[in-house]
Structure 1
Amino acid sequence: MITQDGSLSNDAKARLAMELTNLHSDYAGVPKNWVHIVFQDYAPGSGFTAGEPAATAALTVLMRAGRSPEYKRELIQRLWKLVQTATGAPDDQIVIGIQDLPASQAMEMGQVMPDVASE
């Protein structure tokens, strides 16, 4: 998750990380240790929305391919609510995207990931 420095305290980051982990684990039915959250902060004045300085928040989810469009749509809607609640950012300053890749191109805990269908 990328936010402007100071937008989230360390406690807020820890809470959001737990909420994101619980959401993804429960929704996807995967172990919590398969969920990794990394926060990156950028300096004030380095974020923009519509060409104007803004405390934009961005979340990119990297996941295995194989989930339906409906699943992904519901996931990003749930993620949006968590991010907006945590950051207080208005709609025009939040962006969330999903990048999915074949399971054969991802490793977790030293193992090539299983296909979604074989879980």
Structure 2
Amino acid sequence: MSEQDGGQSGPVFTATGTVTVFGSWVGAQEDEGCVGIDAFGDLRPGTQVRVLDTSGNELSRGRLGDGIPGKVVGNSCTWPLTVADIPDGKNQYRLEIGHREQLVKTGEELHNGVDLSFGEQ
């Protein structure tokens, strides 16, 4: 449990999911597999993922995993997302991935898995 949440104890959960970028916003780097480029250059393996409460207090943080290139519909790159030790029981959470705008998600949405996509398919 993170000390940043005031040391509260109680049930916690792990949020999982994926972040996918489609189209010309995807590139490849020899040591990192696929990565986002230009406006999505902050999306790559190791990009920080934060979960905050609605007041903006950080509850937990994780990272994006290694990107998986795809060619089903144009070029794409998909990174697995995992954030552990999120305090359970809140109605809403804020999700921040890299430099992307924070997204408001319900507790149910985080429990069920978050699948986000950017760019054009």
TM-score, L = length of structure 1:
0.32
Q: Which has the higher contact order (CA 8 A, sep 6+)?
A: 2
Say which structure is richer in helix.
1
Between structures 1 and 2, the one with greater strand share: 2
TM-score under structure 2 length normalisation? 0.32
